[in-house]
Structure 1
Amino acid sequence: MSSGDGVEPLRRQDRTRLRRAEIVSAAARIFATDGYANVGTREIADAVGIRGASLYHHFGSKEEILYEISLTVTREPVEENLPLLDLAATPTERLAALIEAHIRHLRRRRVEHLVALHERTSLTAEHQARIDDYRHYYHRRVRDLLAAGMRAGEFRELDPPIVALGLMDMLNGVSGWIRGDSDDDVQVVVDTYLDLVLGGLRR
């Protein structure tokens, strides 16, 4: 088919998107192993099997790659998990759905999350602020859900902002140790955390 029908540009766009994702994934693995400060763009390009000049076609700097890693693990939960809070369900059911989705996302993005956590100070101030915007919005939505559960009498009367912060720290800490290779392994973690969180919140 000719490029005039719009098919070929779409294919090029897909190839570009897949290559960027490949670069980000490879960089995350290298940063996690060797540390961001000890890795150059040459190592990243070699890991992907491309020339250094080709890497700069996708990212203008190493910091931009780190930013893409960090953005991925903060934007994805907002886009994928927060819609669960809008379901036609009780606050308890919505919180349970969010907890499971959050843990499964951390298992899938474990390496990226650890890199984003440990290398945060290497981001520019502008990029840190963008990441913080996503994190603060996620926290506000969790806080509001907890407050709704307290008003409904499903949760004990506690300080919603503090509970939300504690809950997020508890959930995000999973990325430091979760190693489950099977869905059953991850489900054990999910079930344990649901018992801990919901058991502590119930009136």
Structure 2
Amino acid sequence: MSREVQSTKKPAGRPVRKRRKEIVDAAARVFAERGYHGASTQDIADLLGMRQASLYYYFESKEAALEEVCARGTAGFVEAAEAILKNGSSAEEKLRALLAAHITPLGDRADYMLTFLNERKWLPRESRRRIGRLSRRLEAIFERVIREGMRSGEFRSDLNPRLTALAMLGMMNSVAIWHHRESATLDHIAETLSDLVLKGAVSDG
């Protein structure tokens, strides 16, 4: 999309916030299916049955739409993780909940995840930095819970918290790529992978 802003009147009727959410959902789907360079704002507009020019009221460019998709997708996972961090349960219970919270939303958020994983590299440096800060918040929560479990004796004392957190997130992120090919539900996938991860992390003591 060109950065030039079109000079037609702002659409009335449906609340702007709701319409913006619909447009971001559509952008996520188009980016996930076609890739950033293979997608156009016309594709997004066609999916919504709206005029291409109307998208300028919500995003000044295709690049801005990509950043919004990546930011919303990442922020949703961060918010869920922060809530789990505060719930007062054991480190093992928190980690299981974190892992499940990263998988079960993929039923309606896989487009966001795939766009984040595959297309964020096309964002300009400052946009990547903003998205990167959100990603690091999520990584830090996983790392904090792992350290908590190591201190409490729930997890092995020889774990590298940083590398363990990154490995877990990498495994969970990959589910967005292949889960639709399987007959298992996302809940079942989350349970299976959580069991696998925790068997490797939990202390024998």
- d(CA) in 2 for partners of 1:33 and 1:125? 24
For residues 140-180 of structure 1, give each alpha carbon's deviation from its aligned partner in whole angstroms, at most 9, with x where no partner exists: 11111101101100000111111111111111111111128
Alpha-carbon distance in 2 for matches of 1:40, 1:113: 19
Counterpart in the other structure of 2:65: 65
**What is the rounded CA distance, in whole Å, between the counterparts of 2:22 and 2:178 in structure 1?**
24
Other-structure match for 2:55: 55
Unaligned 5+ runs, structure 1 = 1-11
Taking only the aligned residue pairs, the percentage that are identical comes to 38
> What's the secondary structure of 2:179's corresponding residue?
coil
* 1:49 CA drift (Å): 1.5
Instruction: Name the aligned partner's letter for residue 28 of structure 2.
Output: A
C-alpha root-mean-square deviation of aligned residues, in Å?
2.0
Displaced runs of 4 or more, over 3 A: none
Instruction: Name the structure 2 match of 1:106.
Output: 106
Q: 1:127 aligned to 2:127? A: yes
More helix by share: 1
Contact 1:107 1:175 survives alignment (8 Å): no
Any idea what the Cα deviations from partners look like across 1:178-197, whole Å, max 9, x if unmatched?
A: 12899x71221111012101
Q: Secondary structure at the match of 1:179?
A: helix
Q: In 1, distance between residues paired with 2:152 and 2:181? A: 36
Moved more, 39-48 or 74-83: 39-48
For 2:8, the equivalent position in structure 1 comes to none
Q: Which residue of 2 aligns with 1:9?
A: none
Q: Distance in 1 between matches of 2:201 and 2:136?
A: 22
The number of equivalent residue pairs is: 191
TM-aligned CA deviation for residue 94 of structure 1: 1.0
Whole-angstrom CA distance in 2 between matches of 1:77 and 1:13? 31
Equivalent residues in 2 for 1:121-200, closer than 5 Å = 121-157=121-157, 158-179=159-180, 185-200=185-200
Instruction: Note the residue ranges of structure 2 that are not aligned, 5 or more in a row.
Output: 1-11
Asked whether the 8 Å contact 1:70–1:112 carries over to 2, the reply is yes
For the 8 Å contact 2:81–2:141, the answer to whether it is kept is no
Pair 1:97-2:123 in alignment: no
1:33 deviates by 2.2
Q: Is the 8 A contact 2:78 2:138 kept in 1?
A: yes
